[in-house]
């Protein structure tokens, strides 16, 4: 289940189905993220760095029980390095994710590949479920 999606929209939440979701207007960075979190942060700077750094902080502060975050595979960036140093598992997505725009219309595939990082204790279950989408690496054993 997904309790909170801190960077969403009404249209996106029809797919994500989070119990609570915050829109751009709500500014999810300033809200509580209790429980199980899904996040596909805005990809523009500085927002992506702020959301990613906040996820790591909220996870270590135990506000977030477990989380999945979908981001570009920007392995050279500070925010990515911080997340990969703290996550439990990683899914290298095969192919490109097709995103939807603000009207719910599928847009073209991005130029860069995407990755899902998992934070939490159920990393084996994450691997079982997400292996259908790509190769899984475990950051903890």
Q: What is the pLDDT of residue 134?
A: 97
- CA 99 to chain CA mean position, Å: 14
Q: What is the pLDDT of residue 107?
A: 75
Q: 109 with 60: CB under 8 angstroms?
A: no
Q: What is the pLDDT of residue 97?
A: 74
Q: What is the pLDDT of residue 141?
A: 47
Query: Which residue positions in the chain have pLDDT lower than 70?
Result: 99-101, 108-109, 140-141
Q: 89 with 122: CB under 8 angstroms?
A: no
Q: What is the pLDDT of residue 96?
A: 74
How long, in residues, is the chain? 141
Residues forming a β-bridge with 36: 66
pTM of structure: 0.91
Q: CA–CA separation, 112 vs 109, rounded Å? A: 8
Q: What is the pLDDT of residue 117?
A: 98
Q: What is the pLDDT of residue 33?
A: 96
Q: CA–CA separation, 141 vs 132, rounded Å? A: 21
β-pairing, 89-93 vs 20-21, is: unpaired
Q: 115 with 140: CB under 8 angstroms?
A: no
């Amino acid at each position: 289940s997904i309790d909170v999606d801190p960077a969403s929209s009404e249209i996106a939440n029809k797919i994500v189905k989070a119990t609570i979701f915050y829109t751009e207007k709500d500014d999810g960075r300033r809200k509580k993220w209790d429980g199980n979190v899904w996040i596909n942060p805005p990809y523009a700077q500085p927002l992506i760095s702020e959301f990613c750094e906040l996820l790591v902080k909220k996870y270590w502060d135990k506000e977030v029980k477990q989380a999945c975050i979908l981001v570009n595979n920007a392995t050279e960036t500070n925010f990515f390095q911080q997340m990969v140093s703290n996550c439990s598992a990683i899914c290298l997505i095969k192919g490109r994710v097709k995103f939807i725009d603000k009207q719910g219309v599928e847009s073209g595939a991005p130029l860069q590949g995407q990755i899902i990082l998992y934070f939490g204790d159920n990393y084996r279950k994450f691997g079982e479920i997400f292996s259908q989408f790509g190769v899984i690496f475990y950051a903890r054993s």
